[in-house]
Amino acid sequence: MVLTESLPLIPLPNSAVPGEGALRLTDATRVHGEPSSARMLVDAMTRRTGMRLEIAPDASGPASGDIVLRVDPAAGAAEGYRLVIADDAEIVGADSAGLAHGVHTLLQLLREDDDGWALRHAVVSDAPRFAYRGVMLDVARRFFPVDEVRTVIDRAAALKFNHLHLHLSDDQGWRIHIDSWPLLSQRSSTASATGDGSLAGGGCYSRADYSEIVAYAASRHITVVPEIDMPGHTHAIGVAYPELVEAPVMNEHLLDDAARLGHALPEAGVPYTGWGVGHSSLRIREERTYDFVRDVLTELAELTPGPYLHIGGDESLGTSAEDFAYFVGRATEIVSSLGKTPVAWHEAGAAPGLASGTVGQFWGALTPEAAHAAQAARFVERGGRLILSPSDAAYLDMKYDEHFPIGQDWAGVIDVQRAYDWEPVTLLDVPASAIAGVEAPLWTETVRSLADAEQLMHPRLAAVAEVAWSAPGPQRSWASFRERLGAQAPAWRADGIRFHPTPEIPWSDR
Ligand code: TNX
C-alpha cells in the first residue's frame, strides 16, 4: 500500500499517490463520457462550488483540463476504478458502479484556495475489500418519506456503500402496501415508536413509492434489501389481521422498560407505540400464516430486482424454540422458492431447517457470546455467508457518549473510534470467504426527524464505510482516519449534512 497521508479520502483507497499541483476548474472545464456519472459529478460540484461545469456533447473530443469518465472492464476488479488527476482528469471504472465510486473520490479531492476551485493532482487505484457494504434504515419505528430515503441513499453512496436494507415492518408499524392483504397499509401503518400512544411518525409506501426508492437506489448503484421481520416483531400485523397473531406475551425486560419510560404495554389489536420487544408472534402452526407469508414475499419479490429478501428472525421471545425453528425453515424455503436468497438475523441459525444458502446477519457483540457465534456459524455450515453488524461497533442508534441527547445505550456507547477500530474477518470463527461484508443499522426508536438520523449516522457511517471498503494496511489506522475525516467537514457542510461535530475529530474549516 502506498502512503496516502496527504490525501483526504474516505474510505481509504488501495493506493493513492498525491501529485504536486492541482487542476484548476474554470468556466471552460467540460465533463465527457458516461452520462449518469457525469450528471452526478456536475450536480455535486455545483452544490459545493456554485460553478456549473458543462457536459460535453458525445462527439466532441476532450480538451486539456477536461474531465473524462469511462468504463473499461480491464480497469480492475468489480466496483474498482482508476483515477488520474494531472493536466486533465480521467476516471476509468471497471463497471458503472466503479466509475461512480471514482467520481466520489474525485469530489473529495476538490478544494478551494486563493485562486479558486481546483482538484488535487493524484493517482488512485481502488477496489472494495467486501462485496456487501450496507446501511439499514428502520422505517418501521419511524417512517421516512421517499424524499428523505433519497437523501439517505445519496449520503450512503458518497461513502461507497452498495446496499440499503429497509426494515419495513415491526411491532409499531407496517410500511409497504401489499395488494393481497390491503388492510396492512390501512390499519397497521398508523403508529410509530412515539412511546405515548400518539399517532405521529406513521406512514406506508405504496408500491409506486417503493419502486421509486428501488430505482433511485439503483441509479446510485445501491441494491435495496427489504425486510419483513417475523415471526416476532409482528404486533402491527395483528392490528389489521388479528387471526394471524398470538396474544401478546410480556417479558421482564419489557415490563421494566415500559415502567421506566412510561410506555403503555402492548394490547392485542391496538396500535403499539412502546419500545418493548419479544412480545409478539405470528401463529406458527396455522396454514393461513404461510398463505400470508407467501403472498407478502411474492409481492415483495416482484417489486425487488435485488437478490435478497430478509425475513427478520430476531428476538422472537414470544415463540417457543421449536415453533421458531419450524417457522424459519418454512419462511426461508418460501424465499428460496421465489428465486431469491433469504437473509435472516443470526438467531435463525438455530433452526435445523434453515434453507441452504441463507445469509445470516450477525448483531452480537465484538466479543460474541458463544451461543450467538454458534448460531452465526450455522449459516456458513448451510452454505450461506454472513453480514456483520456488531451491535457495540456498527449500531448507529447507540449514543456517542452517555450525555448524547438521542440514541440508546444497551450495547454501550459508541464513539467514532469504537465504530472504526474493529476487524470483520476475525470476529467469528468462520473462514474469511464466509464474510460477505458489513452493515451499519440505524434503529429509530429515538429518532424524530431526518436531522436526528443524520446526527447518529454522521460521522460514524464514514467509519463503518472504511471498515467495509478498505483492506487493512499501515494507512488504515485511526490516526490517519481522524485526519482524513476532519477534512470532510467543508464538503459535508456544503451538502447540508447535519453531522455530530464530535471533539474526537479535528474538523477543518476549509
Ligand atoms: C435490537 S438488533 C433490535 C431492534 C431494536 C434495537 C434497538 C435487532 C436485530 N433487534 O428491534 O430496534 O435493538 O437498538
Cα–Cα distance between 329 and 340 in angstroms, integer?
15
- Catalytic annotation, pick one of 79, 315, 454, 466: 315
Task: Annotate 23-45 with b (16+ C-beta within 10 A) or e (fewer).
Answer: bebeeebbbbbbeebbebbbebb
Of 166, 261, 279, 314, best ligand 1 pocket probe by most atoms within 8 Å of the beta carbon: 314
Distance 240 CA to ligand 1 centre (A): 23
How much distance in Å is there from the Cα of 35 to the middle of ligand 1? 40
What is the dotted CATH code of the domain comprising 2-126?
A: 3.30.379.10
Pocket of ligand 1 (CB under 6 A): 277, 314-315, 345, 363, 397, 408, 443, 445
Q: What are phi and psi of 472, to 5 degrees?
A: -60, 150
Mark whether 454 is an active-site residue.
no
CA-CA-CA-CA dihedral for 38, 39, 42, 43, to nearest 10: -150
Report how far ligand 1's centroid is from the alpha carbon of 351 (Å): 20
CA-nearest residue for atom 8, ligand 1, is 314
Residue 330: what are its φ and ψ, rounded to 5°?
-70, -45
Which H, E and C letters describe 125-194, residue by residue?
A: EECCCCCEEEEEEECCCCCCCHHHHHHHHHHHHHCCCCEEEEECECCCCECECCCCCCHHHHHCCCCCCC
Report which protein residue has its CA nearest ligand 1's atom 13: 443
CA 283, 287, 290, 292 torsion-angle sign: negative
Question: Each residue's pLDDT tens digit in the chain (510 positions)?
Answer: 444 457 999 999 999 999 999 999 998 999 999 999 999 999 999 999 999 999 998 878 899 999 999 999 999 999 999 999 999 999 999 999 999 999 999 999 999 989 999 999 999 999 999 999 999 999 999 999 999 999 999 999 999 999 999 999 999 999 999 999 999 999 999 999 999 989 888 999 999 999 999 999 999 999 999 999 999 999 999 999 999 999 999 999 999 999 999 999 999 999 999 999 999 999 999 999 999 999 999 999 999 999 999 999 999 998 999 999 999 999 999 999 999 999 999 999 999 999 999 999 999 999 999 999 999 999 999 999 999 999 999 999 999 999 999 999 999 999 999 999 999 999 999 999 999 999 999 999 999 999 999 999 999 999 999 999 999 998 899 999 999 999 999 999 999 999 999 999 999 987
Among protein residues, the one with the nearest Cα to ligand 1's atom 6 is: 443
Statement: 132-473 belongs to CATH 3.60.110.10: no
Picking from 289, 348, 285, the residue whose alpha carbon sits closest to that of residue 313 is 348
Distance 391 CA to ligand 1 centre (A): 9
DSSP string, 93-118: ESSHHHHHHHHHHHHHTEEEETTEEE
Whose alpha carbon is nearest atom 12 of ligand 1? 443
Cα 259 to averaged position of ligand 1 atoms, centre (Å) = 19
Q: What's the CA gap between 142 and 194, in Å, rounded?
A: 8
pTM of the full predicted structure? 0.97
Domain boundaries, the chain: 2-126, 132-473
Q: Are 227 and 167 in contact (CB under 8 A)?
A: yes
Take atom 10 of ligand 1 and give the residue whose Cα is closest.
314
Instruction: Tell me how far apart the alpha carbons of residues 230 and 233 are, in angstroms, rounded to a whole number.
Output: 6
Q: How far apart are CA 81 and CA 232, in angstroms?
A: 43
Ligand 1 atom with the smallest distance to the CA of 441 is 2
For residue 495, count CB atoms less than 10 angstroms from its CB and return exposed for 0-12, middle for 13-18, buried for 19 or more: middle
Please give the pLDDT value at position 47: 92
For 84, 108, 504, the CA distances from 125, given in Å and listed in that order, are 9, 15, 29
Question: Which of 359, 484, 324 shows the shortest CA–CA distance to 430?
Answer: 359
Inter-helix orientation angle 146-158/207-219, to 10°: 20
Pairing of strands 81-85, 110-113: unpaired
- The atom number, within ligand 1, closest to the CA of 315 reads 10
Count CB atoms within 10 A of the CB of residue 470: 23
Identify how many contiguous H helices and E strands the chain contains and give both numbers. 15, 16
CA angle 428, 429, 432 (to 5 degrees): 85
